Amino acid sequence: MYDLSVLIPGRNEMFMSRTVDDILKNIRGKTEIIVGLDGAWAEPAIVDHPDVTILYVNESIGQRAITNQLCRLSKAKYIMKVDAHTAWDEGFDVKLMEDMQDNWTMVPIMRNLHAFDWVCPDGHRRYQGPSGECKDCGKPTTKDIVWIAKTSPQSTSFRFDKTLHFNYFGQYKKIQDASGSHLVESMSLQGSCFMLTREKYWELNICDEAHGSWGQQGTEVACKTWLSGGRVVVNKNTWYAHMFRTQGGDFGFPYPLSGNQVDKARKYSRELWLNNTWPLAIHPLSWLIEKFAPVPDWEDVKPSNKGMIFFTDNKLPLKIAHKVQDRLKEISKQKGIPIVSASLKPMDKMGTNIVVNKPRGIETMFEQILLALEASTAEIIYFAEHDVLYDASHFDFTPEKQDTFYYNVNWYKIHSDGVAVSWEAAQVSGLVCYRELAIKWYREKLASAINGTFNRSYEPKDKFETFKSAVPYIDVRHEGTLTRNKRSLDDFRNKSTAKNFTQTTIDKIPGWDGELLKKLY
């Protein structure tokens, strides 16, 4: 029935019912509300409405755990977790869903919510905060609900510092505003609201209960989104307003503010992100810092000037494809080298993905390479082919000259019958060079493929040098490869090109587990 489920976890929330009413008043699409009452019933009671579901647990299980329980009740495509003290723009749900993409996490503009004042019999007013006598006359005060979404500030840019503590990111907001777009990126989130697909919520384990009950929510959601290949996007076409409770007393956080809980969440968060141990990451944290640089508190983090491009026709046997891709993602994570992939079908987990909707062929391959090069922001590019197993040592080489192509000539071609051959030849699979040099060459190569003057020379050879990695990389031969198979010297028309030709078996390739390679077939 629903396109969006709004999840509202809460414990002893004074404005839970008012928040539900406000959302009901302003939704315009197929949107439901699922409320989690974590250890206490709402007071006042929540309205009885067909689009509102209430989950009550009599003993508190924690904010993350109750949010996960609420998500299990949803069957909608999108879910949006929100705090129980928020106000909403008219039609916020349809405005967000209209622009939403499946690998994004999206939030509206965040305003501040002026929910109430304390008022004494003499009419003195005090801005929302802990209860108490009037500061002017000492008389008792009562709560006057005003429920105003303040139009300033309009927060759209967030970050975290080196302790992973939340901060606003005023410097980057200037870049957002200058873009002129209503969809702008943010490094991190505040945590009181975020929307993503229900599928992504579970895939990324967005509310990981290993953090504990609460804490680090904005950092967790943002890092999991960005580092898995998605985007955190603020939609400036709509807004929500959030009430901040920072003064303690009966105007503080409704969960116990345990120092141990805070420390647990931050320690676990630092292990995931500062030590790059999250298993679903295809980028290290340094990639995110580089993307939004300069980031205050992170100035000493050296951005990587290396990147890799991965191109595939999506026709490879899955047994080979999965091994190749998993290895590249591990190397990317280990060495902080981001991936830009270009494919004929969408690929969710291979870095920044570009889809070329064309039939397989030489022209298409050159277009994939060129688009990936243009999308990368790295200075130095490693070419990664879809049927090649790379060793991490291949990516240790750094080219010295910006006008020279470099080829790793330490490689073996392996065959399904266990034969492995090698000779010192320059191949695109071993190409490393500066990005601008490659862009120039592949623009010319694509033009030659389009106008019919392509001369079957795949490798840039204008000016090149060779190197050898500590461990060879493995070119996996299979049906459908574009280049001819050569298994012996007899297969060479010009035997002078077979420099240092070697024939051996898969289990004798130095630096590799032969049993692992045999499992590719």
How many C-beta neighbours within 10 Å does residue 349 have?
A: 17
Overall number of domains in the chain: 2
Residues 267 and 320 placed together within one structural domain of the fold? no
Residues 450 and 313 placed together within one structural domain of the fold? yes
DSSP 8-state symbol, 251: B
Tell me the one-letter amino acid at 447.
A
Confidence of residue 484 (pLDDT cuts 50, 70, 90): low
Q: Is residue 465 part of a domain?
A: yes
Where is the domain boundary, 273, 295, 327? 273
Q: What is the largest CA-CA distance in the chain?
A: 104
Confidence of residue 257 (pLDDT cuts 50, 70, 90): low
Beta strands in 297-423 (DSSP E): 306-311, 339-343, 352-355, 380-385, 388-389, 405-408, 411-414, 419-422
- Mean pLDDT for the chain? 91
What's the pLDDT tens digit per position in 71-124? 999 999 999 999 999 999 999 999 999 999 999 999 999 999 999 999 999 999
Amino acid 481: pLDDT? 63
Q: What is the CATH number of the domain that holds 168?
A: 3.90.550.10
At residue 483's C-alpha, the angle toward residues 509 and 375, to 5°, is 90
pLDDT of residue 157 exceeding 80: yes
Residues 325 and 396 placed together within one structural domain of the fold? yes
Bridging pattern class, strands 464-467 and 352-355: unpaired
Residue 110 vs residues 18, 41, 113, 147, 238: alpha-carbon distances, Å? 18, 28, 9, 15, 9
Q: Is residue 287 part of a domain?
A: no
Q: Is residue 368 part of a domain?
A: yes
Amino acid 27: pLDDT? 98
Residues 358 and 235 placed together within one structural domain of the fold? no
Confidence of residue 303 (pLDDT cuts 50, 70, 90): low
Q: What is the CATH number of the domain that holds 337?
A: 3.90.550
Q: Who wins on pLDDT, 23 or 279?
A: 23
Residues 324 and 465 placed together within one structural domain of the fold? yes
Q: Is residue 295 part of a domain?
A: no
Query: Left if phi > 0, otherwise alpha if psi is -120 to 50, otherwise beta: which for 86?
Result: beta
Q: Which of 195, 186, 350, 197 is nearest to 283 (CA)?
A: 350
Distance (Å, whole) CA 7 – CA 196: 12
Amino acid 348: pLDDT? 78
Residues 360 and 502 placed together within one structural domain of the fold? yes
Distance (Å, whole) CA 276 – CA 71: 27
Which residues have C-beta within 8 Å of that of residue 307, sequence separation ≥ 6? 337, 338, 339, 340, 376, 377, 378, 380, 381, 382, 435
Range with the poorest average pLDDT among 248-252, 277-281, 465-469, 472-476: 248-252
What's the pLDDT tens digit per position in 362-380? 899 999 999 999 999 899 9
Amino acid 31: pLDDT? 98
What single string gives the DSSP state of each residue in 207-223? Answer: T-GGG-SSS-HHHHHHH
Residues 168 and 248 placed together within one structural domain of the fold? yes
Q: Which of 335, 336, 312, 308 is nearest to 322 (CA)?
A: 312
Distance (Å, whole) CA 99 – CA 82: 19
Which residues have C-beta within 8 Å of that of residue 207, sequence separation ≥ 6? 64, 65, 67, 68, 71, 81, 201, 217, 220
**Contact between residue 79 and residue 4 where contact means Cβ atoms under 8 Å apart:** yes
Q: Is residue 283 part of a domain?
A: no
pLDDT of residue 232 exceeding 80: yes
Q: How far apart are the first and last CA of the chain?
A: 46
Long-range pairs for 173-177: beta carbons < 8 A, 24 or more residues apart: 176/234
Residues 62 and 183 placed together within one structural domain of the fold? yes
Where is the domain boundary, 251, 273, 295? 273
Q: Is residue 137 part of a domain?
A: no
Amino acid 188: pLDDT? 97
Range with the poorest average pLDDT among 62-66, 190-194, 302-306: 302-306
Bridging pattern class, strands 419-422 and 502-505: antiparallel
What's the pLDDT tens digit per position in 388-444? 999 989 998 989 899 999 999 999 999 999 999 999 999 999 999 999 999 999 999
Tell me the one-letter amino acid at 202.
W
Amino acid 146: pLDDT? 97
How many C-beta neighbours within 10 Å does residue 184 have?
A: 21
Range with the poorest average pLDDT among 17-26, 36-45, 341-350, 454-463: 454-463
Q: In the numeric block, which tokens belong to residue 48? A: 């009885």
What's the pLDDT tens digit per position in 205-231? 999 999 887 778 999 999 999 998 899
**What percentage of the chain has pLDDT greater than the value 90?**
68
Residues 318 and 172 placed together within one structural domain of the fold? no
Where is the domain boundary, 258, 273, 288? 273
DSSP 8-state symbol, 339: E
Amino acid 508: pLDDT? 94
Amino acid 492: pLDDT? 86
Q: Is residue 125 part of a domain?
A: no
Residues 46 and 194 placed together within one structural domain of the fold? yes
What single string gives the DSSP state of each residue in 436-480? Answer: HHHHHHHHHHHHHHHHT---S--S--SSEEEE--SS-EEEE--TT
Residues 160 and 210 placed together within one structural domain of the fold? yes
Q: Which domain holds residue 241?
A: 4-108+155-273
**Contact between residue 341 and residue 404 where contact means Cβ atoms under 8 Å apart:** no
Q: Is residue 290 part of a domain?
A: no
For the segment 230-236, the average pLDDT, to the nearest whole number, is 95
Residues 266 and 324 placed together within one structural domain of the fold? no
Confidence of residue 189 (pLDDT cuts 50, 70, 90): very high
Distance (Å, whole) CA 139 – CA 410: 85
